[in-house]
Amino acid sequence: MGLIIGREVPLQAKLCVLEIFPEDFVVTHKQSLLIDYGLLQDRRVIVLLGRSKETPSTGTWTKELMACLALKRLIYIVKKKEKKFVHLWSPYIAFLETHDFEF
């Protein structure tokens, strides 16, 4: 997530599990939403692969997040808030365009 929002995200249990941000970690609302959604997908991938011999990877996380991103985009379009979608998700989309992942 740090590469996406442009700053290091602390690896703390409160943040990763409960989405409680440390007091000294101040982020914008946009960054907070991206981190929250990314962490949600982290937990989802871990649960999906819990009994599998496959270990969670950045590629798996990216694939799952992209699948949900398409649905999110449709929701924003239906609500006539596509500009807000582009504003919120542009850092993640730019990140995908500059990195290669094996799925």
Instruction: State residue 101's pLDDT score.
Output: 63
CA–CA separation, 60 vs 43, rounded Å?
12
- Structure token pair of residue 84: 């807000």
Write out pLDDT tens, residues 67-94: 888 888 999 999 999 999 999 889 888 8
CA–CA separation, 40 vs 46, rounded Å?
10
Q: Could you tell me if residue 34 is inside a domain?
A: yes
Q: Could you tell me if residue 89 is inside a domain?
A: yes
- Into how many domains does the chain fold? 1
Domain that holds residue 64: 2-98
**Is the pLDDT reported for residue 54 higher than 90?**
no
Residue 84 carries which side chain, given as an amino acid letter? Answer: K
CA–CA separation, 38 vs 35, rounded Å?
5
Q: Could you tell me if residue 103 is inside a domain?
A: no
**Residue that is written with structure tokens 């990216």 in the block:** 62
Q: Could you tell me if residue 13 is inside a domain?
A: yes
CA–CA separation, 42 vs 47, rounded Å?
9
CA–CA separation, 1 vs 9, rounded Å?
7
**Is the pLDDT reported for residue 102 higher than 70?**
no
